[in-house]
Structure 1
Amino acid sequence: MIAGGPHIVVVGLGYVGLPLAVALARHFPTIGLDIDAGRIAELTSGHDRTREVAPNLLAASLLRLTAEAIDCAGADLYIVTVPTPVDADNQPDLGAVIAASRTVAGLIDPAKRPTVVFESTVYPGVTEQLCGGEIEQAGSLRRGRDFRLGYSPERINPGDREHSVERITKVIAGEDDEVVEQLAAVYGAVTSGGVYRAASIKAAEGAKVIENAQRDINIAFMNEVAQIMAKIDVSVWDVLAAARTKWNFLPFDPGLVGGHCIGVDPYYLSHLAQRLGHEPHVILAGRGTNDRMGAWIADRLHERRGGQAGSVLVLGLTFKENVPDLRNSRTIDVIRRLEALGHRVSVADPLADADEAQRDYGFALTAVGPARYDLVLGAVGHKEYRDMDARHLAALLTEGGTLADVKGIWRSLDLPGVDRWSL
């Protein structure tokens, strides 16, 4: 472990925390804490199921791993990177961030006056009002005297090797100038993209929550366009190909919007708005459009099959292409609606964990081929599916079967005699 610099603890070693902890460990003494002992055992063996950190980098890292909170007592800087999902009613579920705040409270040495930084996506006010209050109450501590707060929103894009934590601009904020400069030194050592000093913790929280809400709204517009064009039998991909020749046309695609950010963060912003007495019409309209997209696709495919139920193979279950992350996958909306319409659905995914799919969604993953199906649906653009040729795809279909291409990944393939559907 590196001897110099502040001693850092990263709380939560998922898609966000692990890459950050590994990057920090190149410069500072760093411990990675995760309450899942299985996750720690996995990482200790050199395997990261999220595929965000390569095995050779993980093996070479000086990062210390632990599932025992007591190993993390007395650090100078605690960075919390736990998930912030929504519940069944699409309300913010802050259980993990509250639990992490309480854990950190028990580790603080007031004599060191450590900084506690939150990277989890929250609405403005959570870091100072909720998390700070939890630390004070759980640890009998006083903010400012015994510890201080900071916020630096995560910008991890799973599977994105270009915009990694070592390259992005890191937004930082603290409750005073000393904290801000401390975070500038720490994060500045990690990323070549530099740091941006936000005006306040609330401003930094707000920046994060609107980044994904903005994307969600733009994708919702594309989904609405796709639905309009479908009524006149025009492919939205053909419309977009023409529109993108204009220099300032924004390059958003239609499709299923899930995952732990875009499909979640707008609800954090709308929750705050409603608490303040403001009805967030645009945000909720966009979210509603995207949440209904899976059922709309299923209904169109059912119509395409003449209203007759049949056998279906869905290719792809993770929330986006080329990542194993199953959280908040919206492919499930298509599957559930097709099942409700009487179809017999099988699901394949080369990256998804079979046990996780069984646990979270209740079905076993299947292999692709040699079975044939009345409907084959390309739901996620994994490289393995993008690379399928016309012969392979045709071999998956029964006579008169339909090939559905949500992502437009097979538009260039010549498939004579095959019934084809796309957005």
Structure 2
Amino acid sequence: MHNDKVVVVGLGYVGLPLAVALARTHEVWGFDVDRARIEELRTGHDRTGEIDTDRLNASTLRLTSQPTDCPPADILIVTVPTPVTADNTPDLTIVRAATRTVAAMIDPTRKPIVVYESTVYPGVTEDICGPLIEEETGLVCGRDFFLGYSPERINPGDREHTVDRITKVVAGQTPEVLDRLSALYGAVTTGGVFRAASIKAAEAAKVIENAQRDINIAFMNEITRIFARVDLSIWDVLAAARTKWNFLPFQPGLVGGHCIGVDPFYLSHLSEQMGYHPQVILAGRETNDTMADWVAGAIHDRAGSAGTALVLGLTFKEDVPDLRNSKVADLIAGLKARGHDVTVHDPLADAGEAAHEYGLDLDASALDRRYDLVVLAVAHDAYRDLGASGLAGLVKPGGLLADMKNAAPTAATTGDGIDYWSL
């Protein structure tokens, strides 16, 4: 095994767990442009909740916000976000910036491998990032440095499918690079590695993984809307359908986050560039992107009038502090547009980030009052632990509990004559 020195660029949900895992077998430096992020990690605190304090403090990972602190590396891994613009066009600004940072770190005498884990459409690594490094350095790709790709598969809050347990897809510019990356990632995961046929194949595999989930959830959201017209609960339908052995257990809901709600646009962008207009992918995106406002309308119609409203949960999924691309913000906007006076509560979300990203104030004491309408938008354990009676207790007599997650179907029987609504 090579005694490679590794630099991980970007220490968010993806980069930090990877860097900590790699540091068990290699000398690893973790770089992030956010000085505050580096300082908090040095104190043993990870705001994403992916790495606990004991594990972080025990790691040999070296942390810096200065790229010049990093020693000449054999492998540089880019794990920065790939969002979309306001018009849903892939935004490679952060990837390009990280690539320029990496370019300045390259020592051609080591012939390093630059690996991208960021989700992109096929061709970005070789057709955009490689040439950008050449432009910045005057070096030649394939001679002075090499390219690799290994798509991230981090699922925030998932303690089962962690980076040290999943199958890691790897791809390299040459067979020798592929061997090096297979050894690197193979040393840190019990799930083994899969050698992709090419870098483009690995890029494509990642983007379709999330597009597939998006389309399946879109189908659930569409049939939810259909069944609502005949007063039929999607949960009752799914309970019956799941008894078939090959039924796929997807659920309806709001599709946000850093991957599923974004990555299909990378695939559709590539498709449009090639002259093909994708129909299924974009139809799924439209269905999911309009779901929040549809839910707001359905809840408002059931409530019968606007009043005080409490929305429980703002993060994009349960039991994580991740606010990126949360569609609960769209739900709140829909309720406000229909006249509701909305209070927002989330025990995991960062209040400063909520204010900065969405202009929303989190009310830590919100559970001390009662409301005309209570919406369970994100089923954090803290809310599930309240039980049906606890959730119903937040609703004024005659009010409505809107349960998007089917977490408290018996709430309407708890007294005070509250109404209950679910998808």
**Same topology, TM > 0.5:** yes
CA root-mean-square deviation? 1.1
Aligned positions of 1:59-138 closer than 5 A? 59-138=57-136
* Match for residue 260 of structure 1 among 253, 258, 261: 258
Aligned residue type for 1:287: R
Q: Return the offset for 1:388.
A: 1.1
Could you say what secondary structure the match of 1:376 adopts?
strand
* Match for residue 340 of structure 2 among 337, 340, 343: 343
Task: Say yes or no: does 1:315 pair with 2:312.
Answer: yes
Q: Return the offset for 1:145.
A: 1.2
- Partner residue, 1:157: 155
- Partner residue, 1:415: 414
Q: Return the offset for 1:259.
A: 0.0
CA distance in 2, matches of 1:143, 1:207: 24
Aligned residue type for 1:422: S
CA distance in 1, matches of 2:73, 2:123: 25
Once the two structures are superposed, what CA deviation does each residue of 1:336-391 show, in whole Å capped at 9, x if it has no partner? 01111111111000100011001111121012322211110000010011111233
CA distance in 2, matches of 1:415, 1:422: 16
Aligned positions of 1:21-420 closer than 5 A? 21-306=19-304, 308-366=305-363, 367-413=365-411, 414-416=413-415, 417-420=417-420
Q: 2:315·2:323 contact (CA, 8 Å) conserved in 1?
A: yes
Q: Return the offset for 1:411.
A: 2.0
CA distance in 2, matches of 1:80, 1:177: 21
Could you say what secondary structure the match of 2:367 adopts?
coil
Q: Return the offset for 1:73.
A: 4.2
CA distance in 2, matches of 1:279, 1:73: 46
Could you say what secondary structure the match of 1:19 adopts?
helix
Q: Return the offset for 1:412.
A: 4.6
Q: Return the offset for 1:393.
A: 1.9
Of residues 67-76 and 230-239 in structure 1, the stretch that sits farther from structure 2 once superposed is 67-76
Once the two structures are superposed, what CA deviation does each residue of 1:76-117 show, in whole Å capped at 9, x if it has no partner? 000000000111111101011000111111110111100000
Aligned residue type for 1:418: I
CA distance in 2, matches of 1:29, 1:361: 39
Question: Structure 1 regions of 5+ residues with no counterpart?
Answer: none
CA distance in 1, matches of 2:367, 2:65: 41
Once the two structures are superposed, what CA deviation does each residue of 1:11-60 show, in whole Å capped at 9, x if it has no partner? 00000000000000000000000000000000000000000001100000
Q: Return the offset for 1:410.
A: 1.1
| TM-score (norm. length: structure 1) | 0.98
Q: Return the offset for 1:395.
A: 2.2
CA distance in 2, matches of 1:309, 1:394: 19
CA distance in 1, matches of 2:67, 2:86: 30
Aligned residue type for 2:396: T
CA distance in 2, matches of 1:409, 1:289: 24
Aligned residue type for 2:80: V
Q: 2:23·2:60 contact (CA, 8 Å) conserved in 1?
A: yes
Q: 1:73·1:109 contact (CA, 8 Å) conserved in 2?
A: no
Q: 1:4·1:28 contact (CA, 8 Å) conserved in 2?
A: no
Q: Return the offset for 1:302.
A: 1.1
CA distance in 1, matches of 2:40, 2:236: 45
Could you say what secondary structure the match of 2:187 adopts?
helix
CA distance in 2, matches of 1:142, 1:386: 56
Q: 1:375·1:402 contact (CA, 8 Å) conserved in 2?
A: yes
Could you say what secondary structure the match of 1:280 adopts?
coil
Q: 1:378·1:405 contact (CA, 8 Å) conserved in 2?
A: yes
Q: Return the offset for 1:392.
A: 2.0
Q: How many residues align?
A: 420
Could you say what secondary structure the match of 1:369 adopts?
helix
Q: 1:314·1:376 contact (CA, 8 Å) conserved in 2?
A: yes
CA distance in 2, matches of 1:53, 1:151: 24
| TM-score (norm. length: structure 2) | 0.98
CA distance in 2, matches of 1:40, 1:388: 36
